[in-house]
Structure 1
């Protein structure tokens, strides 16, 4: 059995989409909500299996990865999150790039020599690499309208990945990936009125309107912090809402707190776009935190630790 293991956000889905459009293969899909990243551990692997792993932190999957490599399993791994020490093993092909201005789909795009470049641009937009995506789109000669279309599609695919559980989502990420595999170009998705684009577009606007009606819980020149209520709409919109806030005020960090059923918060943190570093370093200081330089999160932050979180963010950025 070959397993395709991938993050359920725009970057993970589109990275795999490019690979399988270029090299179709019968595989078992392993994915989940965006924060469900310890995916290799879920597999009961045999020596006859093989793995493709995309857009999930190698550091968070190290135990599962090492177990697979000990069995002699071939592993193709591409990612831009924290990796830890990359194992040296003849059955591991690792393409890890921690640059804050790249994403997994762009790593795959390079490996495929731009075969599905428009999809890679869409993923970059979805991963909030707006300036990078704009430059790539301009190099392709895309019009302003076409750029906005790819940005919206990438944002919508990314929006679908956020939730505490799959039931929060409009599409299971595996189902969304499979629905997109019939489109060689992202513009084909937009042209098809029966595609997931239209379902997600309507749902996104409803959820975003709720978020935009909420005032900041805390604001300084270094951080804007917003608290969303405990409901599925909040969990769905939290990440892309954080991206929107970051783009509106690029010199400030932004945190979106979504209340969990146990009274704690799920945190989405965005580094200032003008200084895309530190988000992962900040969040990893908290027990359930992690991420990358530009964007990171904490799965459970106790309410009594919010002040500590605010202080940690503000002390990081001078």
Structure 2
């Protein structure tokens, strides 16, 4: 049995897309909404099984990873999030890069010698590595229209991954992956009027218009905080809205809070683009928080801890 385990955002989907375009194999797909990252524990691997894990923190999946390795399965693990101590095991091949300017799809791109490089650029845009993606576009001699197309497609694939549950999404990430697997190039997706691109494009604009109408609940020299209501539209747009805010004001940190309806918030935190550090450190101080240096989140921040969170973010970036 082959297992493909991947984050349901643009980076996870496109990382696997490149691998399976290069090496098609039958596999069981394990994924979920973007914040569903404890994925390795969802399988019961056996000896002779092969497990591919993409774009989920090894530190968050170490229990499941140890269990899989102890069963005798082989594991190919690629990621750019917190890893913790990487196990030394003959059945584990790990490619972990914590650089704030890379993502899992770019690591895969290097391993495949750029075989599906346009897809890797699309993932970089989706993961909000705008400067890096722009650099790669220039090296690939793409024109302005092509650059814009890849950026929009990456953003839309990423947008689809956000939600508290699968029902919030327009496409189950596994189904979106399978649909995109039909297209060797991202430009093929956009050229097909029946592809997922057009449904996502329309829905994204509707959700973004609602978010852009909201004024900040907190604004300082180092941080802007926006609170979204408890709705599927809010949950879908929260991450890409945070990315949009970060690009709109690269000197400030941004937090997008989405009401969960139980006196907690889902938090998306973006470090300033001009100082891409600290987000994971800050969010990791709260019970359900984690992420990476440039972008992190908290799944359930109690209302009573909101002021503490804001103070921690303000203090960190005022001193940085």
Structure 1 position 304, deviation (Å): 1.2
Question: After the TM superposition, which segments of 4 or more aligned residues of structure 1 sit over 2 Å from their partners?
Answer: none
Task: Provide the secondary structure at the position in 2 that maps to 1:105.
Answer: helix
Task: Provide the secondary structure at the position in 2 that maps to 1:46.
Answer: coil
Task: Provide the secondary structure at the position in 1 that maps to 2:68.
Answer: helix
TM-score using structure 2 length: 0.99
1:289 maps onto 2:294 in alignment:
no
Matches within 5 A, 1:131-210: 131-210=131-210
Deviations 1:121-152 (A, max 9, x none): 00000000000000000000001111010000
Give the structure 2 partner of residue 276 of structure 1.
276
User: Any gaps of 5 or more consecutive residues in structure 2?
Assistant: none
Give the structure 1 partner of residue 61 of structure 2.
61
TM-score using structure 1 length: 0.99
Structure 1 position 166, deviation (Å): 0.3
1:101 maps onto 2:101 in alignment:
yes
Deviations 1:231-266 (A, max 9, x none): 000000000000000000000000000000212100
Give the structure 1 partner of residue 41 of structure 2.
41
1:223 maps onto 2:223 in alignment:
yes
Structure 1 position 316, deviation (Å): 1.2
CA contact (8 A) 2:13 2:173 kept: yes
Give the structure 2 partner of residue 110 of structure 1.
110
1:86 maps onto 2:86 in alignment:
yes
Structure 1 position 48, deviation (Å): 2.9
Give the structure 2 partner of residue 27 of structure 1.
27
Q: Tell me, in whole angstroms, the C-alpha distance in 2 between the residues paired with 1:219 and 1:209.
A: 21
CA contact (8 A) 2:238 2:256 kept: yes
Give the structure 1 partner of residue 249 of structure 2.
249
Deviations 1:130-185 (A, max 9, x none): 00000000000001111010000000000000000000000000000000001000
Q: Tell me, in whole angstroms, the C-alpha distance in 1 between the residues paired with 2:285 and 2:58.
A: 18
User: Any gaps of 5 or more consecutive residues in structure 1?
Assistant: none
Structure 1 position 45, deviation (Å): 1.8
Q: Tell me, in whole angstroms, the C-alpha distance in 2 between the residues paired with 1:151 and 1:93.
A: 31
Deviations 1:27-83 (A, max 9, x none): 000000000000011112222321000000000000000111112210000000000
Give the structure 2 partner of residue 129 of structure 1.
129
Task: Provide the secondary structure at the position in 2 that maps to 1:88.
Answer: coil
